[in-house]
Amino acid sequence: MFNTASTTPEKILQMLAALLLFAAVMGVILFIAGRFGGKKGDRIVAYLYLLPVMLLLAVGLVYPGLRTIYQSFFDAAGDAFIGLDNYGTIFTDPDQLTVLRNTVFWVVLTPFVATAIGLVYAILVDKSRFESFAKTMIFLPMSISFVAASVIWKFMYEYRPDQGNVKQIGLINQVIVWLGGKPVQLLIESPLNTFLLIIVMIWIQAGFAMTILSAAIKAIPDDIIEAARLDGVNAWSMFRKITLPSVQPTVVVVLTTIGIGTLKVFDIVRTMTGGNFNTSVVANEFYRQTFNADNQGLGAALATLLFLLVIPIVWYNIRSLRQSEAR
């Protein structure tokens, strides 16, 4: 048992020391900043204010990131240097290959399906009589946490053995029973269970996509839309030639944003299956290897891989934003 009586005062003292150190640093910065004036002084003041931020980023982000990359070249205990063996395990071990396969499913399906649903929904309800209510309904899942959404959908997929008068509490299995079928353990059937988990993410992210894309659609100038209608453009041509090109930069931002969130997905998998039944993804496997299997090296390698996968998406997102701003 931990001695909470002795650790609590120590933690309080550490917290007070950190607050005093922060106050002292800010006091020194304000004192030095007050000594400068003019344009050159403004630049020096700006650098001084950036200094604590850069220091916190270095301590809280850069150093742990570099430490993780370094740790990925060592064995499970973190003692023996084994080079790229952990990365070799990721790309050769059958269980890890399943993790990579599932991650590909998530990243390919979730952003495109959620964005497509959000875009179509935004177009259909735009300027309709029930626009506010319709948008509220699809945006509601965004207001709850991933864990809460996972619990809701876990009940949706719930299974009970088909014995006598046992009633199904899971909506999906109850519908199957109503249609004359037998209940199915949906969350243990691979790879079906992975797609069922992906549905939860799509359900959450479609509201986000709809909100952002709806704002972009409303920003399309009315005179362009009216001119197209006067020319006799039908609904499909309006979407293909007017709406989609106008919101294309926003679509890219939504796709990449959802893609980054999907790469880091952890809560849904952890809550619904715990990564069992061949449903684990990179983020969940990193947690499992590090904290459950106590394999520090492989866990660090998976975290590094996740970081490397996110970088191209972030770079493309920034590049697209700069191009749209330059137009």
pLDDT for 327: 63
- CA distances 285 to 99, 109, 279, 281, 293, Å, are 7, 20, 10, 6, 10
Cα end-to-end distance, the chain, whole Å: 63
For residue 270, the Cα-to-chain-centroid distance in whole angstroms is 14
Question: Residues 6 or more apart from 295 whose CB is under 8 A from it?
Answer: 76, 289
Contact of 213 with 235, CB cutoff 8 Å = no
Per-residue pLDDT of the chain in tens (327 residues, 90 and over written 9): 445 455 678 888 888 887 888 788 778 777 777 777 666 667 777 777 788 788 888 888 888 889 999 999 999 888 889 999 999 999 999 999 999 999 999 999 999 999 999 999 998 888 788 888 888 888 899 889 999 999 999 999 998 887 667 788 888 988 988 888 888 899 998 899 999 999 999 999 999 999 999 999 988 888 888 888 887 778 888 888 888 888 888 898 899 999 999 998 999 999 999 999 999 999 999 999 988 888 999 999 999 999 898 888 888 877 877 776 666
Burial class of residue 317 in the structure, from the number of CB atoms within 10 Å of its CB (0-12 exposed, 13-18 middle, 19+ buried): middle
User: Which segments of the chain are extended strands (E)?
Assistant: none
Would you call 289 helix, strand, or coil by DSSP?
Answer: helix
- Angstrom distance (rounded) from CA 284 to CA 23: 38
Give me the residue label for tokens 């005179």. Answer: 223
Contact of 302 with 286, CB cutoff 8 Å = yes
How open is the CA angle 178-184-187, to the nearest 5 degrees? 130
For 97: left if phi > 0, alpha if psi spans -120 to 50, otherwise beta; the answer is alpha
- Angstrom distance (rounded) from CA 237 to CA 228: 9
- Angstrom distance (rounded) from CA 154 to CA 272: 6
- Angstrom distance (rounded) from CA 174 to CA 259: 33
Burial class of residue 75 in the structure, from the number of CB atoms within 10 Å of its CB (0-12 exposed, 13-18 middle, 19+ buried): middle
CA nearest to 217, candidates 318, 290, 96, 122: 122
Beta bridge partners of 81: 74
Would you call 73 helix, strand, or coil by DSSP?
Answer: coil
Burial class of residue 321 in the structure, from the number of CB atoms within 10 Å of its CB (0-12 exposed, 13-18 middle, 19+ buried): middle
% helix / strand / coil in the chain, to the nearest 5?
75, 0, 20
